[in-house]
Structure 1
Amino acid sequence: MSQIFDFLSELRENNNREWFNDNKNRYKAALSEFEGVVGQMIASIGQLDDAVRLLEPKECIFRIYKDIRFSKNKEPYKTNMGAYLARGGRKSKFSGYYMHMEPNGSFLSGGIYLPEPAVLSRVREDIDLYYDDFINIINNPSFKQHFPELHGDKLKTTPKGYSKDNPASEILKHKSLYVARMLSNNEVNSPSYIAEATETFRALKPFNDFLNRAIEDL
């Protein structure tokens, strides 16, 4: 991933339109390299999950251009490359597989991030109804090895309609519900990156399946 990391490292130090335009060919080369990696990941994950199998990289990759209209940080470009592998691509409401490349900040992730209220409500219903199943998934040793904790901002109190004594109370407070495995630069640059990422996402799949069964009913 040398072209990706080299370009992003320099972009971090020169996050302005003039530098970016002067280095547009380097950006295109880095993006092409990333598209190739995403294509390999789609092929690999597609053997585990049919919902991913027919995706195209360009459906999954997020733009590098930032929306700075409502942001205090006016730097125009992201200093990472990311792709979301889920049915429908990067704009999907479904839980999927996220790959993020950034010098000293790469990770693999999955789950639901700031979902629409209807999606979050439906997921909470299933966590409440099938709490034991959910706990068994996130406590599975293979899952724990890759994803030791759940992430996501939480409400201060149990959401309306659920008792504070509900055994699922702490999980139901989540406004986002996702997991992540951080990666070193060496792990991303390793020839075994695709294989290792595939095994990480294999452990993630039951978590995605649980969330998506709820979302499919919408």
Structure 2
Amino acid sequence: MFNHFEPSLMTFLKNLQVNNDREWFNDHKQQYEDDVRTPALAFIEQMEQWIPLISPHYEASAKKVGGSLMRIYRDVRFSKNKSPFKTNVGIQFRHEVGKDVHAPGFYLHIAAGEIFLGVGTWQPDRDSLAAIRDHMVTKPGPYLDAIEHEPFTEFYQLGGTKLIRPPKGYDKDHSLIEEIKRKDFIALCPLQESDLYQPDFCKMVASRFGRAQPFQKFICEALGLRF
């Protein structure tokens, strides 16, 4: 049973930052398996009992490939940064209909100096983005309730990118125009490294995710998804 992560996970990620090349990684692949992937999959497996309590339509999948754990290999085909490996652990519990990282989801990010929980939808496609914006125009009250209620704001801050000008077709004087400008509908909850090592880490993560239920529900309703 997974209880918490170990400092060895962070040690590996820090070393990978300094030695981000295939030769070093291949020489330390067993260390990656032991200190990173195995505990990450154990965490996901333990979260299988918590995620359905937050929403029965989000999934925790502890598969080595194609599940909640994101692959460590970077896609460098269109990037100026040719480093072959990600230097973070990314875990997404996405909606049951989601096929990639752009789907609505609950997210855990672990990197040296940057650990956080994320909720919402990152870089949704054009149609999904328009659907969320239109839903905000139609139901501004529920959106404001979702992002302003104290259980949410105690831990989360909205993040992501925004347009400089209002998107075409939306009233520039709308009371929510600054929210309508968003290109990402995500909120972040920062964590301390010490949080990873607490024996009730899974319970704490589930509790923080639960604080974002109204926000996730609003996004699902906008996209015609069950929550």
TM-score scaled by length of structure 2: 0.90
Q: Contact conserved, 1:112 with 1:176, CA < 8 A, in 2?
A: yes
Do the aligned residues in 2 keep the contact of 1:8 with 1:103 (CA within 8 Å)? Answer: yes
SS in 2 for 1:212: helix
Change (3 A) 1:107 1:179: same
In structure 2, which of residues 124, 128, 133 is the aligned counterpart of residue 115 of structure 1? 124
User: In the alignment, which of 36, 40, 45 is matched to residue 34 of structure 1?
Assistant: 40
Q: Any conservation in 1 of the 2:103–2:124 contact (CA below 8 Å)? A: no
Aligned to 1:183: 191
- Greater helix proportion: 1
> Would you say the 8 A contact 1:60–1:90 is kept in 2?
no
CA RMSD of aligned residues (A): 1.5
Partner of residue 48 from structure 1, selected from 47, 54, 58: 54
Unaligned residue ranges in structure 1 (runs of 5+)? none
**Superposed displacement of residue 52, structure 1:** 2.5
Q: TM-score, normalised by structure 1?
A: 0.93
- Distance in 2 separating the partners of 1:113 and 1:52: 16
Which residue matches 2:16? Answer: 11
**Comparing 64-73 and 120-129, the one that deviates more:** 64-73
Deviation at 1:48?
A: 2.0
State the shift of 1:179 in Å. Answer: 0.4
The residue aligned with 1:20 is 25
Identical-pair percentage = 30
Deviation for aligned residue 1:150: 1.4
Question: 1:90 deviation in Å?
Answer: 6.2
Note if contact 1:42-1:85 (Cα within 8 Å) is conserved in structure 2. no
Q: CA deviation at 1:66?
A: 0.5
Equivalent residue for 2:74?
66
Is residue 84–residue 90 contact of structure 1 (8 Å, CA) maintained in 2? Answer: no
Structure 1: how far apart are the matches of 2:102 and 2:117?
Answer: 18
Aligned equivalent of 1:207, options 204, 215, 225? 215
Letter of the 2:77 counterpart:
R
Moved over 6 A (4+): none
The answer for the alignment partner of 1:144 in structure 2 is 153
Count of residue pairs the alignment pairs up: 215
